[in-house]
Chains A and B, each alone.
Chain A
Amino acid sequence: GAVVSQHPSWVICKSGTSVKIECRSLDFQATTMFWYRQFPKQSLMLMATSNEGSKATYEQGVEKDKFLINHASLTLSTLTVTSAHPEDSSFYICSAQQPSSYEQYFGPGTRLTVT
């Protein structure tokens, strides 16, 4: 149980375009989802916290207008990287939290490459 999926697993896009990444909790309802970014050989950095039905909370230094997060249902959160640039190339990972638990369940990640 407690499986989280991400789609796509990898994506290549051109500079200036937008990319949407989906995060789904497959067998549980997640009131809270988290989005992380991880650069090569570095640790995960929390970008934002997404709560179902409300606006996301962004960490300091993360541009909310560039990284649009939508948590429209209890099983789906999306991250849209708008006007992507090569420096946005990274590994994006989401995690989901059940209402009655503190434990995070992580997705497999999405590799974004901006050319």
Chain B
Amino acid sequence: LAKTTQPISMDSYEGQEVNITCSHNNIATNDYITWYQQFPSQGPRFIIQGYKTKVTNEVASLFIPADRKSSTLSLPRVSLSDTAVYYCLVGDSTLNNAGNMLTFGGGTRLMVKP
């Protein structure tokens, strides 16, 4: 099971781009990288998932270098409502190994200031 390491917290200001990096040195060949967002007293919300290079959706981008030992979640032009905890998960996404995707690390607490 690939362990992940993220910064405990980050501060930013409204309108800035925020990049949160996750280290996963022992990522396996079949592992995917998934990021979730969690607000206080709410369940996590899926943000983005990727395997390699770059993935972009309407809310974020995910950059994964060639060695896949780290990944960076990029949030463009953050607002106050982006203040939350962001979790990086790494695991095999195949159905018979779903359990590998279920280990949450410590997460990164992002504080966006006005």
Contact = CB atoms under 8 A, between A and B. Distances in A.
B103 interface: yes
Contacts of A103: 46, 49
Interface string B26-49: 000000000010000111111001
Interface stretch (A13-21, A43-51, A60-68, A76-84): A43-51
Given A43-B87, A102-B94, A108 B102 contact: no
A36 B89 CA distance: 15
Contacts of B42: 108-109
Interface in A71-97: 91, 93-95, 97
Interface in B73-114: 87, 93-95, 98-99, 101-107
Contacts, number: 49
A67 to B, nearest CB: 16
B45 A97 contact: no
**Max chain A Cβ within 10 angstroms of own Cβ: one of B87, B95, B101, B105:** B95
Contacts of B103: 46
A25 interface: no
A32 B43 contact: no
A37 B107 CA distance: 15
A111 interface: yes
A49 B107 CA distance: 22
Given A93-B43, A111-B41, 13 more contacts: A36-B104, A43-B106, A43-B107, A45-B104, A102-B94, A102-B98, A102-B101, A103-B46, A104-B46, A104-B102, A106-B43, A108-B42, A109-B41
Interface of A: 4, 6, 32, 34, 36, 43-46, 49, 91, 93-95, 97, 102-109, 111
